[in-house]
Amino acid sequence: MSEASVELARPRARQNGWWATSWRQFRLERRMFWRNPSAAFFGVLLPLLLLAIFGAVFSNNQHDLNVIVPGIAGMSLMSATFTSLAYNVTTLRERGILKRLRGTPLRPSAYLAGLASNAVANAALQLALVILAGRFVFGVPWPRDWGSLLIFAAVGVVSFAFLGVALSHLIPNPESAPAYVNAVFLPQILIAGVFYDAKDAPALIRDVADVLPLKHLVDGLSGAMIDGTGVGDHVVALLVLAAWGAVGALFAVRGFSWEARRD
């Protein structure tokens, strides 16, 4: 009798399709992102701050500005995906949130899609901000090849997202996450031609940068935004970037753990 009244009071069964589930997760991740001041700062403001500083330093040199804007665009795409996912997945795993979710009927693929979409949304937001700032503050023209820009941005975002998740498997706890992430991120932004023209770097540095993914993303973005050279002129760069993505995907899936690391 009382059981029947409880039945009536219950909310209607939800739609738990894959897309509905990942969309709800995405919206939840967005809400939490904006509530976390440090994430919001590093995710959105820091790239703009760097752009402002370097833009001010090079304000009289349009050639340098033309290097900086696509460079910071590439760096932003990497930090929004690689850095934040490496940190987030480590934290979610070590806090036990992944394990808790694993005990619910939530579909893992829908959950991970929602989680990754949050990083992709940040990447898109930052790319838009950098392009707008470049156009209206630093006198860099609108991107010349939007198609190539979108292709490089998409491949870059997917590749760095997988690499970020793969790196999280190596990070033992949230406290050491910044050290691990920066050990990979900082050297790469320094040698990849984010803050200067990579052609001016010594040969050894260039060789190392050529093997790593970020330089190729910056090259592709630079071609699309500044030089008007499309995907056809940067096939190798796209392939290197995609190859890193494939390696990242392999390790991201293989090493994935829903539970905290314990001995």
Partner 1 sequence: MMGRVTSAAQAIEVVGLRKVYGDREALRGLDFSVARGEVFGLLGPNGAGKTTTVEVLEGYRERDGGEVRVLGEDPGARGTRLRERVGVVLQSCGTYPHLTVQETLEHWATLYPAPRPVAEVLALAGLEEVAARRARVLSGGQLRRLDFALALIGDPELIFLDEPTTGFDPAARRAAWDVVRALRDLGKTVVLTTHYLDEAQALADRVAIVKDGRVLAEGPPDALGATRYRVAWRDDAGSIAERFTDDPTALLHELTSAALARGEQLEELSVTRPSLEDVYLELTTAADEPAPAVPA
- Residues found near partner 1 in the complex (CB under 8 A): 6, 9-11, 13-14, 16, 21, 24, 28, 31-32, 35-36, 95-97, 99-100, 102-107, 259
Provide long-range contacts, Cβ within 8 A and 24+ apart, for 189-194: 189/75, 189/78, 189/214, 191/215, 192/71, 192/74, 192/75, 192/217, 192/218, 193/67, 193/71, 193/218, 193/219, 194/68, 194/71, 194/72, 194/74, 194/75, 194/218
In angstroms, give the least distance from the CB of 94 to partner 1. Answer: 8
Please, which residue, 91 or 229, has the CB nearer to partner 1? 91
Please, which residue, 31 or 261, has the CB nearer to partner 1? 31
Angle at 15 between CA 13 and CA 19, to 5 degrees: 160
In angstroms, give the least distance from the CB of 119 to partner 1. Answer: 16
Please, which residue, 4 or 13, has the CB nearer to partner 1? 13
In angstroms, give the least distance from the CB of 15 to partner 1. Answer: 9
Please, which residue, 10 or 199, has the CB nearer to partner 1? 10
- Which tokens hold the place of 225? 């935004």
In angstroms, give the least distance from the CB of 244 to partner 1. Answer: 31
In angstroms, give the least distance from the CB of 26 to partner 1. Answer: 12
Please, which residue, 99 or 135, has the CB nearer to partner 1? 99
Helices of type H across the chain: 2-9, 18-35, 37-40, 46-57, 62-78, 84-95, 97-102, 108-136, 146-168, 177-191, 203-211, 213-222, 235-254
Cβ atoms of 158 and 245 within 8 Å: the answer is yes
In angstroms, give the least distance from the CB of 104 to partner 1. Answer: 5
Please, which residue, 93 or 216, has the CB nearer to partner 1? 93
